[in-house]
Amino acid sequence: MTSFLIFLAVIVALALYAIGIYNNLVNSRNRVKNAFAQIDVQLTRRHDLIPNLIEAVKGYMKHERETLDAVIRARNSAVSTLDAVKSDPSNAEAIQKLGAAEGALGSALGRLFALSEAYPDLKANQNMMQFQEELSSTENKVAFSRQAFNDAVLAYNNAVQNFPNSILAGMFRFDPASFLDIESEEKRQVPKVSFT
């Protein structure tokens, strides 16, 4: 009878331990979803600002239609990719596509702002300056939100991949998540320094 009680106590302890691991995995995955929701808010704000920015520069940049179209295409691609990721922000492939789409949008915006330097009236336009400031502020918020998301992904991936959690994670299909890295061409370029 005593050995049966010991066996039963061990089984109950193991079951409670497994429940604890499972709950930790669920909590970690939910933290990833919450962190992504913060990114979603900032990226949506960014996407909503771009049509107004385009309208503000259209009158000045009549001959730069290709650049404006590139920004619009990049924005539309980023919006649709963001919508696809919302349902499962722990999907590694979807997060990588979002990073690429946002990187392309950032590059297109960079070209637009660089081109706007050639239009003094546009540079001095109050609406243009306001949109640039709002986009810059939003970019900073995106960076902070992305950092929080990547921290949540790290904690989640550690919970999924550490032993013995990995056994339950595999059984219940807790797949590792992917970090959100928004690629920027400017980030990769080496700055030119000249002392002449």
Please give, one letter per residue, the 3-state secondary structure of 138-192.
HHHHHHHHHHHHHHHHHHHHHHHHCCCHHHHHHHCCCCCCCCCCCCCHHHHCCCC
Q: Give the model's pLDDT for residue 195.
A: 44
The CATH number of the domain covering residues in 2-182? 1.20.1440.20
Q: Give the model's pLDDT for residue 120.
A: 77
Question: Structural domain boundaries of the chain?
Answer: 2-182
pLDDT, mean of each 10-residue run, the chain (196 residues): 89 94 94 93 92 82 81 94 90 91 92 82 76 88 92 95 92 91 57 45
CA distances from 12 to 6, 15, 20, 118, 167 (A): 10, 5, 12, 73, 18
Q: Give the model's pLDDT for residue 184.
A: 59
* Residue 164, Cβ density class (10 Å: 0-12 exposed, 13-18 middle, ≥19 buried): exposed
